[in-house]
Structure 1
């Protein structure tokens, strides 16, 4: 699969709409799924046509289809409903989503305030017209579809606890997180519109977390990242991997511009090099038990040796 070019200025307005729309869909999953450690029960996943909730208890699935540009609601009883993704307000999306849920018999209750944004406004009060550029949305999804298998491959090189490859709708980033197994200091919290208890449970143990976001928050282009919590001494001074990668002191993370990966002769190898180098930085600086936690990247049809 080719890696599309991503233009943050052209994406931004569509991205702002999708961020809020994804929060609405994610909150439906959150409201009807038992809590899983580190909020893994609330996320979205890349699939062959867009982003999906997977199967929500009760027998429902919601998908952003970036091929047909529809929001689809499916039920295991065979019912389905959909509406077009198009320029619309957050309030209008919320209304149409609830109607689609009702058409398949799904519950329509969920929390109606966004998370991880300053000064959150209830979805039904966000009546300003939003943007939706189908080309920008499709390119963003194709980029995620190209990188997700690379994150999955990187995930196989670890024997310890590791998250799925999933998209957090609050921060609107694709992520995969490795855990040392050791408890971490209590996180101070402080994220906007996010209960500290959620943050503290998410960071209850030492992590090395890698991912991708499409720009904003101090980086006005699409970026891959890696951060550690707690931040160990020497982390920022470690090698960042491929040319173009660097440590951003303001964000406290290693960054690699998406364009460096997308235009590389071997994008997957370039991304793996960044993920491995920055994980090495976290694990070595914090003295993780790498002999017990690390392993070779998985091979097809080859079980792990005992």
Structure 2
């Protein structure tokens, strides 16, 4: 199996746009039914052996606990309750409107009283159109979704390895339904003062200094093709002049700040792609941490915090 298969955006754009909205519908339901965590850690999806999951949500007012899983091997959506009730349906041949009706109908059938508070896309071009009225996005190519799932899984494993190199506060590796990326975030835990004009979503996400690293599948607004990325927030002066590895990595401007980027196609066929991606994440972290003055003693090796057990500890 090709671990990092080709996945140019244009090859599955229609499927990606449909699937993204499927994920937002379920993700918004998770948001409505889960216990809130710092930096919105309760909201994203986590990976399973066959797809992605909301993890158990609830308990609701009547005590119901439920989980929603996307199975990208059988291409079905499954809803399960803690007391054993379950239902599923195929993800194929559905518009976003069809999916929304099938999903909410399944919740009602199982007695699950949880719905998205705002049943419209978040931060997408059709943000004013209710999901139930979207019959435009109706493409689901199982082969393309299999490739997306393969890439997602491989990137998750790389990010888990990268996450093991830091003993400070670190997010889970999770798949965000609003931006359709997968990421892990390291925190210095220094408070970041933000003005009253900053929206509450951003205020919570960036209430502490962060260096976030991840992968996205490309979009028209930020970067058009799949890429590994890293950014430091707040961004320290001169970040974009810091060295990056490997050679294909570069800094790019994005919304007034700078992203470290490693294009997917520039590294996926490397003899040791995982090592190249880890070099990229390490170099981008070192650039941000060094300029922002993060304490170097928060680095560790392979998840081990006892320095006497290290073979060759990483340095900033």
Whether the TM-score (by the shorter chain) exceeds 0.5 is yes
- 8 Å CA contact retained: 1:4, 1:143: yes
Equivalent residues in 2 for 1:288-303, closer than 5 Å:
288-291=294-297, 293-298=298-303
Question: 1:158 maps to which residue?
Answer: 166
Q: Following TM superposition, by how much is the alpha carbon of 1:188 offset from its aligned partner in structure 2, in angstroms?
A: 7.9
Match of 2:171, SS?
A: coil
Q: Separation in 1 of the partners of 2:302 and 2:197?
A: 34
| 1:133 maps to which of 138, 141, 148 | 141
- 8 Å CA contact retained: 2:9, 2:225: yes
Give the RMSD, CA atoms, in angstroms.
1.8
| 1:277 maps to which of 283, 295, 312 | 283
User: Given the alignment of the two structures, is residue 218 of structure 1 paired with residue 225 of structure 2, yes or no?
Assistant: no
- 8 Å CA contact retained: 1:189, 1:199: no
Count of matched residue positions in the alignment of Structure 1 and Structure 2: 297
- 8 Å CA contact retained: 1:187, 1:199: no
| 1:114 maps to which of 111, 114, 121 | 121
CA separation of 1:64/1:188 partners in 2, compared to 1, >3 Å: closer, same or farther?
Answer: farther
CA separation of 1:129/1:295 partners in 2, compared to 1, >3 Å: closer, same or farther?
Answer: closer
Q: Could you list the runs of 5+ residues in structure 2 that have no partner in the other structure?
A: 59-63, 309-316
Question: 1:265 maps to which residue?
Answer: 271
Question: 1:104 maps to which residue?
Answer: 110
Match of 2:113, SS?
A: coil
Q: Following TM superposition, by how much is the alpha carbon of 1:187 offset from its aligned partner in structure 2, in angstroms?
A: 6.5
Q: Separation in 2 of the partners of 1:262 and 1:80?
A: 39
Q: Following TM superposition, by how much is the alpha carbon of 1:133 offset from its aligned partner in structure 2, in angstroms?
A: 0.8
- 8 Å CA contact retained: 2:192, 2:209: yes
Q: Following TM superposition, by how much is the alpha carbon of 1:305 offset from its aligned partner in structure 2, in angstroms?
A: 5.5
Q: Following TM superposition, by how much is the alpha carbon of 1:184 offset from its aligned partner in structure 2, in angstroms?
A: 1.7
Q: Separation in 2 of the partners of 1:13 and 1:189?
A: 35
Moved more, 113-122 or 134-143: 113-122
Q: Separation in 2 of the partners of 1:187 and 1:201?
A: 12
Q: Separation in 1 of the partners of 2:214 and 2:248?
A: 16
Q: Following TM superposition, by how much is the alpha carbon of 1:132 offset from its aligned partner in structure 2, in angstroms?
A: 0.8
| 1:204 maps to which of 204, 207, 210 | 207
TM (normalized to structure 2)?
0.89
Q: Following TM superposition, by how much is the alpha carbon of 1:88 offset from its aligned partner in structure 2, in angstroms?
A: 2.3
Q: Separation in 1 of the partners of 2:53 and 2:267?
A: 25
**Deviations 1:33-68 (CA, angstroms, capped at 9, x unpaired):** 121111111110111111111111232111111100
Q: Following TM superposition, by how much is the alpha carbon of 1:158 offset from its aligned partner in structure 2, in angstroms?
A: 0.9
Q: Following TM superposition, by how much is the alpha carbon of 1:126 offset from its aligned partner in structure 2, in angstroms?
A: 1.6
User: Given the alignment of the two structures, is residue 249 of structure 1 paired with residue 253 of structure 2, yes or no?
Assistant: yes
Q: Separation in 1 of the partners of 2:254 and 2:44?
A: 27
CA separation of 1:223/1:280 partners in 2, compared to 1, >3 Å: closer, same or farther?
Answer: same
